[in-house]
């Protein structure tokens, strides 16, 4: 049988539930729905008198709201220092505007332009403004959450559900912003705190890489229920599951027997950090990893909260979600197999071994789903 690696992504049913979230498209509604039970008129006046109202507005993105903006659902966050808007979906188009990093733009249409760029033909229509290539525009949603007060005694996994959120060193908007966490990143929450001065709620997380507690407003994180972390296709015998990666085609396929159940474009290693070829297995896994190759300013990359990591070598090579680019189909990683977040989550939950919901890392040598990585299509 020839295993043909398809270029299209199979969008399966394994999507996150939305029953614990507000799907809010208009930024004018965010403020009122963020803290419906605690933020009263009196709190509003308290924030204003304390000089903190502008900080809160900036935190929610309300300092840059355009009057009369149409309701938006799908958005794109710019992941690079320059994102070009063209008058047509082509690099030969007229440049209309260039945006910097971390600007959130409306995505009103997705276009497949086959002759534009062989490996990544996806373009986005940016509202009425023009068109942008998808490579450096992370698809995101703005989805705000109510605080979960009855957290279990143990730590729980959570994911960021807004384009980005400033991370602070304390449970207050007055604390210095340390860094930003981005949409789709995952983090371990161990505590909920209410600020006694303004009534806002915050989650505390611990970053093992830098050994520091950080604090995020509860509206930015969705607590992932244990049932969402249950294994996929658990009745399929482990030996019948396999993952095939074609580096030449920059694609991967997950199989149950000879039946493909997930197909996606990838971004593998390049240059001096290629993705290794051969036979491997997903024998150690983690739902959230702070990936870096150094400390502080010496690091070439520093990526907290990388989601849904399924390692297949002892050197850190893995399948994982990707929030710093959206350019799948071309080698660009440090050896890992970059995939869209939903694909990485599928692999994490579908492959063996199964990681318990409260485990931040599972290492079982000799176990795991078979992974075959080749330079090009092969017969089997």
CATH of the domain at 136: 2.30.30.40
Least confident span in 110-124, 265-279, 326-340? 110-124
Taking residues 115-123, report their average pLDDT.
Answer: 79
Q: If you average pLDDT over residues 338-366, what whole number do you get? A: 97
Could you report the per-residue pLDDT of 125-139, keeping only the tens digit for each?
Answer: 999 999 999 999 999
Instruction: Give the SS3 label for residue 170.
Output: coil
pLDDT at 8: 32
Same domain, 213 and 241: no
Chain centroid to CA 126: 21
- Which residue, 170, 173, 192, 331, is CA-closest to 248? 331
What's the distance, CA 155 to chain centroid? Answer: 20
Mean pLDDT, rounded, for 212-239: 97
Residues 161 and 88 both lie in one domain: no
CA 121, CA 123: separation in Å to the nearest integer? 7
Last residue of a domain, one of 140, 159, 185: 140
Q: Which residue has the higher pLDDT, 229 or 293?
A: 229
Same domain, 47 and 149: yes
pLDDT at 162 over 50: yes
What local confidence, expressed as pLDDT, does residue 378 receive? 46
Does residue 14 lie within any of the structural domains? no
Domain final residue pick, 197, 224, 251: 224
Our count of domains for the chain comes to 3
Residues 177 and 213 in one domain: yes
Is the per-residue pLDDT at 229 higher than 90? yes
Residues 61, 150 within the same domain: yes
**Which residues fall within 8 angstroms of residue 52, CB to CB, at 6 or more apart?**
173, 174, 198
Report d(CA 351, CA 364) in Å as an integer.
13
Q: Are residues 124 and 44 in the same domain?
A: no
So what's the pLDDT on residue 55? Answer: 53
Check: CB of residue 267 under 8 Å from CB of residue 338.
yes
Distance of CA 222 to the CA centre of its chain: 13
Residues 359 and 268 in one domain: yes
Query: What stretches of 100-141 adopt beta strand conformation (E)?
Result: 104-106, 109-112, 122-126, 130-133, 137-140
pTM of the predicted protein model: 0.81
Closest CA to 182 of 231, 229, 217, 220: 220
Within a domain: 16: no
Q: Could you tell me if residue 263 is inside a domain?
A: yes
Boundary-marking domain end, from 99, 123, 140: 140
In a domain, 367, yes or no: yes
Q: Residue 120: which domain range?
A: 75-140
Classify residue 12: in a domain, yes or no: no
Query: Lowest-confidence range among 28-32, 49-53, 197-201, 319-323?
Result: 28-32
Q: Would strands 104-106 and 109-112 be described as parallel, antiparallel, or unpaired?
A: unpaired
Q: What is the pLDDT of residues 249-306, one digit of tens each?
A: 999 999 999 999 999 999 999 999 999 999 999 999 999 999 988 765 556 789 999 9
């Amino acid at each position: 049988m020839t295993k043909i690696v398809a270029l299209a992504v199979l969008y399966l049913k394994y999507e996150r539930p939305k029953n614990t979230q507000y799907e809010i498209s208009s930024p004018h509604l965010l403020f009122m729905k963020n803290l419906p039970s605690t933020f009263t008129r009196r709190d509003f006046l308290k924030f204003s008198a304390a000089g903190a109202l502008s900080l809160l507005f900036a935190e929610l993105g309300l300092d840059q709201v355009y009057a009369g903006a149409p309701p938006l659902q799908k958005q794109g966050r710019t992941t690079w220092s320059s994102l070009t808007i063209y008058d047509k979906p082509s690099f030969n188009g007229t440049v209309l505007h260039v945006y910097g990093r971390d600007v959130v733009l409306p995505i009103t249409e997705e276009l497949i332009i086959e002759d534009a760029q062989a490996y990544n033909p996806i373009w986005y229509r940016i509202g009425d403004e023009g068109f942008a290539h998808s490579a450096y525009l992370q698809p995101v949603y703005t989805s705000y959450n109510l605080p979960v007060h009855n957290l279990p005694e143990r730590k729980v996994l959570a994911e960021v559900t807004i384009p980005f959120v400033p991370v602070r060193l304390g449970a207050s908007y007055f604390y210095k912003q340390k860094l930003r966490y981005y949409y789709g990143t995952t983090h371990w929450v161990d505590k909920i705190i209410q600020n006694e001065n303004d009534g806002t709620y915050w989650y505390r997380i611990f970053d093992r890489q830098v050994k520091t507690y950080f604090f995020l407003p509860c509206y930015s994180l969705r607590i992932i229920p244990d049932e969402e972390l249950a294994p996929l296709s658990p009745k399929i015998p482990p030996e019948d599951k396999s993952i095939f990666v074609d580096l030449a085609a920059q694609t991967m396929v997950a199989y149950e027997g000879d039946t493909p159940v997930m197909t996606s474009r990838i971004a593998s290693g390049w240059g001096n950090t290629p993705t290794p070829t051969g036979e491997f297995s997903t024998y150690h896994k983690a739902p959230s990893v702070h990936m870096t190759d150094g400390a502080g300013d010496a690091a070439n990359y520093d990526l907290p909260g990388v989601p849904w990591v399924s390692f297949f070598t002892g050197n850190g090579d893995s399948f994982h979600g990707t929030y710093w680019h959206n350019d799948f189909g071309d080698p660009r990683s440090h050896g890992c197999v970059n995939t869209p977040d939903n694909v990485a989550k599928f692999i994490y939950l579908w492959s063996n071994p199964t990681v318990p919901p409260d485990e931040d890392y599972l290492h079982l040598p000799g176990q795991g789903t078979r992974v075959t990585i080749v330079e090009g299509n092969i017969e089997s």
